[in-house]
Amino acid sequence: MARRFDSVAVIGGAGYVGAVLVPRLLELGYRVRVFDLFIYGAEALAAVAGHPRLEILVGDVRDDEAVQRAVRGADAVIHLACISNDPSVELDPDLSKSVNLDSFGPTVRAAKAAGVRRFVFASSGSVYGVSDSPQVTEEHALVPVSLYNKYKAACEPLLLAEQAPSFTTVAVRPATICGYSPRQRLDLTVNILTNHAVNNGRITVFGGVQMRPNLHMQDMVDLYCLLLEAPDDTIAGQIFNAGYQNYSVAETAEVVRNVVREEMPEKGEIEIVTTPSDDIRSYRINSDKIRRVLGFTPRHTIEDGARDLIRAFKAGKLPDSMTDTRYSNIKTMKAIHLK
């Protein structure tokens, strides 16, 4: 498929997903501008540092002038920036609201005013909160149970209100991402379980009955690339769920244990310990719409995500994985005291 655009601004491009997406966009021939505070370090994009089609802007999404520079001259924007996950948001609700919600409308409007033609927003499958429905489609009621979910849900109408013939807007609600990234997170379900199985010989499951949809990192990146190239009238003003395997946390732990047994038999028996949890989020997501409209079908499984991480552990790419704060959003947020 021929590229529809030449230049893409990735806001929050040095995060867990951005660190995999940006190199892929460069491989596809895009000119890429990354706008990020780099609170997790510059190592995330070390593999493409100095690339002739990569521009790095260090800045804060709350800085209107910096945002205007970030979107100026871009054909498309992929917006990934946020304080991510419930604990990090709850740490400082005012800060989180200013980053995740208050800055969003001005960013969308700045992009539109700058002549950006497409704006792709990373919302979250967690906006559904708690649901025992087996078919949580995009029309399902939003019942966000945390500030993170509420801010993501509140951003969607702000984006879609700016939809225009010359400004195509689309929001995607991803499942929980798993797998390896140069800016690794080990505070997400599959990643947590794999880290503990490999490096602790024991998996602790908090609760276990909660349902979680999952999506592999490579499929998430494939989808963002697809959303850049889809025809305007196919995605304009649309919201898409993006998930694959809907498993309970306990089922996911069993899957991870089996993969570690296969890949690292020397680890011996890996115990699964279940403990109570006050995390009530539980939902499945139905991704039929994105398959029907865009032909998008995930190709990777949570088993693949666990294997990716095992390879990274074996290669020494994730040192001190049980103790280093950089793998945890909440621990990093506490350490840097962002204001």
- CA–CA dist 251, 205 (Å, integer): 10
- How many folded domains does the chain comprise? 1
- What secondary structure does DSSP assign to 72-116, as a single string? TT-SEEEE--S--SHHHHHHSHHHHHIIIIITHHHHHHHHHHTT-
Asked whether residue 18 is assigned to any structural domain, the reply reads yes
pLDDT of residue 2: 65
Asked whether residue 21 is assigned to any structural domain, the reply reads yes
pLDDT of residue 1: 54
Asked whether residue 2 is assigned to any structural domain, the reply reads no
pLDDT of residue 280: 77
- With a CB cutoff of 8 Å and minimum separation 6, the contacts of 148 are 82, 83, 84, 85, 86, 88, 89, 90, 96, 100, 124, 126
pLDDT of residue 86: 85
Secondary structure class of 187 (helix, strand, coil): coil
User: What is the domain range of residue 102?
Assistant: 7-336
Asked whether residue 35 is assigned to any structural domain, the reply reads yes
Asked whether residue 1 is assigned to any structural domain, the reply reads no
Tokens 């994105």 belong to 290
CATH code (residue 154):
3.40.50.720
Asked whether residue 104 is assigned to any structural domain, the reply reads yes
Check if the beta carbon of residue 198 is closer than 8 Å to that of residue 234. Answer: no
Encoding tokens for residue 237?
């003003």
Check if the beta carbon of residue 203 is closer than 8 Å to that of residue 196. Answer: yes
pLDDT of residue 339: 78
Tokens 């995060």 belong to 15
Asked whether residue 323 is assigned to any structural domain, the reply reads yes
Blockwise average pLDDT, block size 10, the chain, 339 residues: 88 98 98 96 95 98 98 98 90 94 98 98 94 91 92 98 98 98 97 97 92 96 98 98 95 97 96 88 92 98 98 98 95 88
Tokens 């893409």 belong to 8
Query: 211-216 and 245-248: which strand pairing?
Result: antiparallel
